[in-house]
Every structure is written in structure tokens, then in C-alpha cells.
């Protein structure tokens, strides 16, 4: 309860600090251009961001579409974080997962061609999910190989550097092995329609909530189920207990017979699998092909921000993902409605995380220090 209250207070502080910053932006801009100051009201900016998104069915739909992917990339951070490990390689795990999922859908398209439609859908989506999760898990486990229990945060460095390796490798594979020669862009051919995720707006009744023209798919409920499953696993399974014990006190956990290496590999691999699965929301849920532009939103890096905002709790990341989903979508509203640049949203996100980190430290129980 204290933690939730602290988080809400922190967000209020961040929004106030953001308001001050928004008020200062026009002055900064006039220094650069030498033109007179055109004031921007922070209230109008916030109304454009939140009102513009939450006021329409379309805006809400896009926000929850972003949030669905963010829940999964945030779980990729939250799971290892419970064991005291920082995974900032979500972007690379997402990219590789996306490539594997796309390749699976493209490769199996010919095999299941004549099968009846529902069976083809199950096979294609299922195989894509398995491939994406496996690729993400492998990349996460690779970062775990660099951890040195009790000796600094090597996995931070390794997981981040692996992002660049994954980006290069994926770009290479798409360009030289999976290129759609007709599109004129570096992207793969489209995956078959049977591999696409169904839209929630197709469910009777839900079309009043979600715009049928937006890619809100079954990936969203799947992401929520994943968050609940992780929360359950943390609280009620042996694996979750081992993670929590290692995160709370690595030496005590090791003395109790919990292998630090197994904890590192399993938590980073399962986290990586979540990031890999997030790619399905983008490729199979929205674009229908794989290319650098599909991942331009940097959901992997945003997942880190989301997890930090949710204080690393698997259920805390859900409201955090919704907030960042709204901000993500609000970036375009804010540039339409005000003279502010879209990057103001990045600052708001960073301020929110800084405030939450500060609040977390203030509320933490203090030992003798």
C-alpha cells in the first residue's frame, strides 16, 4: 500500500516537474531560433496528451496496443530483476524473437497450406510463438553467461551490447536471406493471413471498446495472462522462491543450496522469452512482416522504463505499461495540438522513472547503513 501510494505521489511530482519544463521549452526554443517566445500552457499540453488519447475509441485502442507489447518487454526486465539482475537487452531479445517468429510463419506457410483454416492458424501462430520465445530465451541466456555472482553487474553491460549484435545480425538475415524483393524496403515478405492474430474488435460486444481498424489483438489478453502467471510463479512456485531468495540475499540463497548460475540463466532466459513473444504483437498482430521500421518504437528499451516504473512487480508493470502506452500515443497528439517537440514525452517518461526510483529509495526500510 505504501509502495502504491509512493508511486502515485512520485508520478504527481514528475508531472509537476514536467509542467515546469514544458513552460520553459518555448524560452529555450527562442534562444535557438532568435524568434520571440510563443508560450505553451502545460495544462494544454497535458490535455492534448491524455485527453487526445483517452477521449476517443481509436486513441484508447492504440494506447492499449502499445501497452500489450510493453507488458511483455517489461516482464523481460521484471523477472531477472526479482533475482537482482538487470536485463537491458530486451530490445535485442525482441528483435531476434521477431525474426524467428516471422521465419517460422514464412517457413511453415507452404507446409500447412491445404490444412483447414483453424488448424492452420493454431499451427502457424503456435510455431511462431515457440520460435520467438526460444530465440528471445537463447539471447537472454547468453547475457546470463556473463554474470559474475557477487561481483558487479556484468549482465547490464553484456545484455546491452548484445542488442547491437542482434540488430546487426537481424538486419543481415533480412537483407540477404529473407528479403522481399518487391517492396523496395528492407523487410521480409508478408506472413500468411492464417498466421495473423485475431482482433479483439471482432468479438461481439468488444467493437464498442476497441476500434476495428486498430491492431488490438489477442496478444493483449495473452500479455495480461503472462503478467498474472509471473506474479503467481513468484509467489507460489519453487522457482519464484529461488529468484526472490537470490534477489534478497545472494549469499544466504547460495548457502541454502540455490545455485546462483541456475537462477541467472533461468530468469534471464524466461525474461528473454517474454521479450521475444512481444514481437508477435507487432509482427503477427500489426505489420504482418519483419523489418527495422516494425521495431522503430523501441519497445524493448521502453520495457525497461515500464518495468522500473512498475517497481519490478509483474502486476505493477500493467498500469505502468498503460501509462506509457498513453504517452507513446500522446507523442503524436502533442505535436499536432501544441508547438512542443515529440521528445517532451521522453523527458516525461524519464522524470516519472527518476521520481519512482527516488520514492522507492525514500520508502525503503533503512538498516544501519
Partner 1 sequence: MNDVYELVTVIVSPEAFAAALRIATPLVLAALGGLFAETGGVPDIALEGKLLAGALGAVVGGYFAERAGFGAGAAFGVALASAAACGVALSMVLAALAVGLRADAILAGLAATMLAQGATRLACSCLFESESNTPTIASLAVSTPASWAWVKDQGLPRWVEVALLSHGPLTYLALALVPACHVVLRHTPFGLALVAAGGNEKAARAAGISLAWTRTGGLVFAGALAGLGGAALAVSVQQFATDMSAGRGYIALAALVLARGRAWGVLAATLAFALPEALAGDAKRIFAFPEELALALPYLVTLALLAVAGARWRS
Write out the residues near partner 1 by the rule CB under 8 A. Answer: 25, 28-29, 31-33, 86, 88, 145-146, 148, 152-154, 156-158, 160-165, 167-169, 171-172, 175-176, 304-305, 308, 341-344, 346-351, 353-354, 357-358, 360-362, 364, 366, 369
Choice between 288 and 314, CB closer to partner 1 = 314
CB of residue 12 to partner 1, shortest distance in Å: 17
Choice between 58 and 154, CB closer to partner 1 = 154
Choice between 44 and 169, CB closer to partner 1 = 169
Choice between 23 and 115, CB closer to partner 1 = 23
CA distance 177 to 227: 35
Choice between 203 and 364, CB closer to partner 1 = 364
DSSP 105-150: HHHHHTTTTTS-HHHHHHHHHHHHHHHHHHHHHHHHHHHHTT--TT
CB of residue 96 to partner 1, shortest distance in Å: 13
CB of residue 131 to partner 1, shortest distance in Å: 21
CB of residue 354 to partner 1, shortest distance in Å: 4
Phi, psi of 199 (to 5 degrees): -90, 145
CB of residue 256 to partner 1, shortest distance in Å: 22
Choice between 176 and 238, CB closer to partner 1 = 176
Choice between 176 and 182, CB closer to partner 1 = 176
CA distance 75 to 79: 6
166-174 long-range contacts, CB within 8 A, separation 24+:
166/89, 166/91, 166/92, 166/93, 166/95, 166/96, 166/139, 167/91, 167/92, 167/95, 169/96, 170/95, 170/96, 170/98, 170/99, 171/292, 173/99, 174/99, 174/290, 174/291, 174/292
CB of residue 160 to partner 1, shortest distance in Å: 5
Closest of 313, 309, 278, 308 to residue 294, by C-alpha: 278
Q: How far is CA 302 from the centre of its chain?
A: 5
Q: How far is CA 291 from CA 163, 235, 287, 300, in A?
A: 16, 38, 9, 15
CB of residue 252 to partner 1, shortest distance in Å: 19
Amino acid at each position: 500500500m505504501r509502495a502504491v501510494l509512493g508511486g502515485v505521489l512520485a508520478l504527481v511530482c514528475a508531472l509537476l516537474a514536467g509542467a515546469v519544463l514544458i513552460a520553459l521549452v518555448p524560452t529555450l526554443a527562442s534562444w535557438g531560433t532568435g524568434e520571440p517566445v510563443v508560450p505553451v500552457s502545460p495544462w494544454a499540453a497535458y490535455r492534448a496528451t491524455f485527453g487526445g488519447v483517452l477521449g476517443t475509441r481509436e486513441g484508447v485502442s492504440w494506447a492499449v496496443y502499445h501497452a500489450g507489447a510493453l507488458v511483455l518487454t517489461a516482464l523481460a526486465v521484471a523477472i531477472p530483476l526479482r533475482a537482482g539482475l538487470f536485463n537491458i537487452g530486451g530490445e535485442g531479445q525482441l528483435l531476434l524473437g521477431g525474426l524467428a517468429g516471422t521465419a517460422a510463419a514464412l517457413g511453415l506457410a507452404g507446409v500447412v497450406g491445404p490444412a483447414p483454416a483453424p488448424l492452420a492458424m493454431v499451427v502457424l501462430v503456435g510455431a511462431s510463438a515457440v520460435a520467438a520465445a526460444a530465440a528471445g530465451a537463447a539471447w537472454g541466456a547468453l547475457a546470463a553467461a556473463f554474470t559474475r555472482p557477487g561481483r558487479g553487474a556484468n549482465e547490464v553491460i553484456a545484455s546491452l551490447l548484445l542488442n547491437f549484435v542482434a540488430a546487426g545480425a537481424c538486419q543481415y538475415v533480412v537483407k540477404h536471406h529473407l528479403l522481399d524483393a518487391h517492396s523496395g524496403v528492407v523487410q521480409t515478405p508478408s506472413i500468411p493471413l492464417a498466421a495473423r492474430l485475431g482482433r479483439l474488435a471482432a468479438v461481439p460486444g468488444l467493437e464498442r471498446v476497441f476500434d476495428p481498424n486498430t491492431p488490438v489483438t489477442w496478444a493483449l489478453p495473452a500479455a495480461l495472462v503472462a503478467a498474472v502467471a509471473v506474479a503467481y510463479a513468484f509467489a507460489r512456485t519453487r522457482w519464484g522462491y529461488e529468484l526472490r531468495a537470490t534477489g534478497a540475499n545472494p549469499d544466504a540463497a547460495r548457502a541454502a543450496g540455490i545455485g546462483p548460475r541456475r537462477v541467472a540463466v533461468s530468469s534471464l532466459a524466461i525474461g528473454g522469452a517474454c521479450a521475444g513473444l512481444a514481437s508477435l504483437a507487432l509482427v503477427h498482430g500489426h505489420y504482418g512482416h519483419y523489418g527495422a521500421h516494425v521495431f522503430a518504437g523501441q519497445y524493448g528499451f521502453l520495457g525497461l522504463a515500464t518495468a522500473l516504473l512498475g517497481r519490478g512487480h509483474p502486476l505493477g508493470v500493467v498500469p505502468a505499461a498503460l501509462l506509457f502506452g498513453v504517452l507513446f500515443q500522446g507523442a503524436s497528439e502533442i505535436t499536432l495540438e501544441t508547438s512542443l517537440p515529440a521528445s517532451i514525452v521522453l523527458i516525461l517518461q524519464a522524470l516519472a522513472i527518476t521520481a519512482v526510483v527516488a520514492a522507492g529509495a525514500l520508502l525503503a526500510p533503512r538498516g544501519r547503513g
